[in-house]
Amino acid sequence: MTVTVVSALVRPLIEPHLPEWVEARFYKSVDEMLEFAPHAEIGWFDLEHKPPMLEAIRRAEKLKWLNSIYAGLDFLPFDLLRQRGTIITNGAGINALTIAEYVVMGMLTIAKGYREVVRAQDRREWLLASPGRRELAGSKALLLGYGAIGKLVEARLTAFDVAVTKVRRSPGPDTLGPNDWRARLGEFDWIVLAVPATPDTDAMIGKAELAAMKPNAVLLNVARGAVVDQDALIAALSEKRIEAALLDVTTPEPLPADSPLWSLPNAHVTMHLSGRATEKMFERSAERFVTNIHRWGRGEPVEPRFDLDLGY
Neighbours of 231 (CB within 10 A): 12
Q: Is the dihedral of CA 132, 134, 136, 141 positive or negative?
A: negative
Whether pLDDT at 212 is above 80? yes
Please spell the DSSP secondary structure of 77-93, one letter per residue: -HHHHHHHT-EEE--TT
Q: What is the mean pLDDT of the segment spanning 10-17?
A: 97
Q: Any idea what the Cα angle at residue 104 is, between residues 101 and 107, rounded to 5°?
A: 150
Q: Which CA distances in Å does 211 have to 182, 227, 236, 241, 312? A: 11, 16, 8, 7, 29
**Alpha-carbon gap, residue 246 to 243, rounded angstroms:** 11
Distance of CA 80 to the CA centre of its chain: 24
Single-letter code of the amino acid located at 239: E
**Alpha-carbon gap, residue 79 to 82, rounded angstroms:** 5
Neighbours of 214 (CB within 10 A): 16
Among the residue ranges 30-44, 175-189, 198-212, 274-288, the one predicted with the least confidence is 274-288
23-69: pLDDT as tens digits = 999 999 999 999 999 999 999 999 989 999 999 999 999 999 999 99
Max Cα-Cα span within the chain: 69
Torsion region of 148: left, alpha or beta (phi above 0 gives left; psi -120 to 50 gives alpha): alpha
Find, among 134, 174, 128, 131, the residue nearest to 151 by Cα: 174
Radius of gyration of the chain (CA): 22
Domains of the chain by start residue, with CATH: 2-94+280-297 (3.40.50.720), 96-276 (3.40.50.720)
pLDDT band with cut points at 50, 70 and 90 for residue 234: very high
Please spell the DSSP secondary structure of 221-278, one letter per residue: E-S-GGGB-HHHHHHHHHTTSSSEEEES--SSSSPPTT-GGGT-TTEEE-TT-GGGS-
Whether pLDDT at 5 is above 80? yes
- What percent of the chain has a predicted confidence (pLDDT) above 90? 93
